[in-house]
A and B are shown apart, each in its own frame.
Chain A
Amino acid sequence: MNPYAPELYRIKKTVFESDDFTLKSFLLEPIDGNMMDFIPGQFCEISVFGKGEAPFGIASAPHEKEGLLFTVNRVGLVTGALHEMEEGHIVGIRGPLGNGYPVDEFKGKNVVIIGGGFAFTTLRSLTLYLLENRKDYGKITVIYGARRPGLLLYKEDLANWEKRGDIELHLTVDTEFPEWDKHVGFVPQVLEKVAPSPENAYAVVCGPPVMIKFTLPVLAKLGFEKDKVYTSLERRMKCGIGKCGRCNIGPYYVCKDGPVFSLAQLEKLPKEY
């Protein structure tokens, strides 16, 4: 087995997620028909042959067999080239990589999912996974915010969740917008208002660094212990399998031992993220 050799996937569908065209989703199907199995929170290295590879969190849930979903923010070489690709193009996939969210540890517990901006990708996967295995989990609360309504990802899923009675969804945008009748304000403020109980509960937080910075104190105030709060880290990556040395935080590699860590774990490591 060559860990650097990708599997080939064909782009089945693309869709712009945001009204500013910076976020594009790709549904990929394996050309040999073998869909990979994975855990929400894991990621893949996507190859655009000729441009290189870059890591992306898997946004689809393991039971969604129609393909792997990724949502890509256009920032540089590989992401720029991906954005130029359409249905039928071939890309390479290496994965699933990393540890994923501890969904077994969450069993029987309430789960509070807190997301900001386009970091909602693997949180979509997690939420759908919990809903698919609904009876294994307690109360599910999702708090998700973006700067404005046009930047919220996965609107179809959000609409479905709003209709369901077994998940509590709180959407927010930074400032007032016409026809926006949901929360207004930053994610940490909404979290404070919603005030989920820490009793028998886990929290998962993903978002831009500022959001995380202001969300963690709120969770602490609400009484969430550090070993009950998980987040997913990003670091520049190449090999994705703990060999190239790039993504270490202390003796751990974000690509192999992460990207998901609890605050209790992070507290013991150098602040190199």
Chain B
Amino acid sequence: MKRVPLSELERIYEALKSYGSVWVRKKNAYETAETPEELLSTVSKVKKPAKFIFLPEEEPLLAFVQDGKNVTFQEVIREAKGVIFGIPPCEAKAISLLDLNFLQGEGEDIYYKKRRENVLLFGLACLAPDSRCFCTTFGYGPFTESFTDIFGVVVDDVLLFEGITEKGKDLVKNLDVEDAKGEELKKLEAMKKEITERVKKLDIQGIQEKLARMMDSEIWDKISSSCLGCGACTYYCPTCYCFDIQDVERPNWGYRLRTWDSCMFTLYTLEGSGHNPRPELKYRWRNRLMHKFNYYPVLYQEFGCVGCGRCIEVCPVNIDIREILMEVKNEPIRA
């Protein structure tokens, strides 16, 4: 591990800057830093997750020009290059889950890929998990480095860090920094244990199999009864990615736009005939929970939730996904 005192962060800032944009944590969103001091942000959970950088709320996919019966078009690919500094393990893991959808199999999403492959994740251990965090439920925790390119921990007034991936190691190699001191590493271990234990872990063992048998359960009525269908939970969720594609038309030209969408909306599945395969909120809630706790595991052997607690925080009617998971777990199965 390497070390750099927080008072000398400009020593790594320039190197990060030479890689591209440097995004740092602000209260509401990740924003590009103008000064090395901004790396010092202590925001522990940014409201809008970093997925916005890879999957913007809206982006043009192509632009076209019409001339009588003729049309020509051009692909429009918005690239991004840089480092997200301070991304916590939960969000880094969430990005690894988005990769499963956007980068696996045939038909790689090149819009996502062009940004993903040129943006490094400089993760920082999460030192202040809050009352809504339940990351340890999913087999990782506030000090897990595996989903990042470079991972660091702030110990007192020093940043300790190391390269995790090849790209991360390359960047660290060229930095003018010293090796971490023995007592700092010792302190790090103690912090890791203490802070990780602070997170309240849920016991969701067997939830995937249980859900598979609960398609027709009455629990969905109960869960969805107070839900407004506003979709806030899905917009702020770092693992949700549903999108819509629509054309914007101007006289003789236009563009095709990808925008976020939400499985909590009626229009999401409404068909041309008026038929809707998920006509009521309870079916949409069922789909949301199933997608994260049954379908994702079936497809990728990974849960589609990282336990960040954002959906709990933003829900206007205080629906708590942890309580729902416990209800599912405790619900008797009718024969």
By a beta-carbon cutoff of 8 Å, the part of chain A in contact with chain B is: 1-6, 8, 47, 49-53, 75-76, 79, 88-92, 209, 234-236, 238-239, 241-246, 248-251, 270, 272-273
Contacts and interface: CB of A to CB of B under 8 A. Distances in A.
Main secondary structure of the interface of A (DSSP, over half): loop
B294 A251 contact: yes
Interface string B287-317: 1001100110011000000000000000000
Contacts of A250: 290, 295, 298
B108 A5 contact: no
B107 A272 contact: no
29 contacts: A2-B75, A3-B110, A4-B62, A4-B111, A4-B258, A8-B72, A8-B73, A75-B273, A88-B69, A89-B69, A209-B275, A236-B272, A238-B244, A239-B245, A242-B105, A244-B243, A244-B244, A244-B245, A244-B261, A245-B242, A245-B243, A246-B242, A248-B287, A248-B291, A248-B295, A250-B298, A270-B215, A272-B277, A272-B283
A4 B270 CA distance: 22
Given A1-B110, A2-B75, A236-B269, 16 more contacts: A47-B256, A51-B247, A52-B245, A53-B247, A75-B273, A79-B272, A90-B70, A90-B71, A235-B269, A236-B270, A238-B245, A242-B105, A244-B245, A245-B263, A246-B269, A251-B299
B107 A5 contact: no
Nearest to B243: A244
Contacts of A6: 73
Given A244-B245, A245-B242, A246-B268, A3 B107 contact: yes
A251 B295 contact: yes
Given A245-B243, A248-B287, A49 B298 contact: no
Main secondary structure of the interface of B (DSSP, over half): mixed
Contacts of B271: 234-236
A6 to B, nearest CB: 8
B28 interface: no
B3 interface: no
B242 A50 contact: no
B41 interface: no
Residue of A89, A90, A235, A241 with most chain B CB atoms under a 10 A cut-off: A90
Contacts of B106: 241
Contacts of B270: 236
Nearest to B274: A75
Top 9 closest pairs, chain A to chain B, by CB: A50-B249, A245-B242, A251-B295, A241-B107, A3-B107, A75-B272, A251-B298, A90-B71, A272-B277
Contacts of B263: 245
A90 to B, nearest CB: 4
Interface of B: 61-62, 64, 66, 69-73, 75, 77, 101-102, 105-111, 215, 241-247, 249, 254, 256, 258, 261, 263, 268-273, 275, 277-278, 283, 286-287, 290-291, 294-295, 298-299
Contacts of B247: 47, 49-53
A2 B277 contact: no
A52 B248 CA distance: 8
Given A243-B107, A248-B287, A8 B62 contact: no
Contacts of B245: 4, 52-53, 238-239, 244
Nearest to A8: B71
Given A88-B69, A245-B263, A49 B287 contact: no
A5 B263 CA distance: 25
A51 B249 contact: yes
A3 B278 CA distance: 27
Contacts of A238: 243-245
Nearest to B109: A243
B71 A245 contact: no
Given A244-B261, A248-B291, A270-B215, A50 B109 contact: no
A272 B283 CA distance: 9
Contacts of B269: 235-236, 246, 272
Given A238-B243, A238-B245, A244-B243, A49 B73 contact: yes
B91 to A, nearest CB: 20
Contacts of A49: 64, 66, 71, 73, 247, 254
A3 B69 CA distance: 24
Contacts of B287: 248, 272
Contacts of A234: 271
Contacts of A75: 272-273
A90 B261 CA distance: 29
B233 to A, nearest CB: 15
A183 B295 CA distance: 45
A5 B64 CA distance: 11
A239 B110 CA distance: 13
A51 B257 CA distance: 11
A239 B112 CA distance: 14
A92 B271 CA distance: 22
B291 A243 contact: no
A193 B225 CA distance: 48
B111 to A, nearest CB: 8
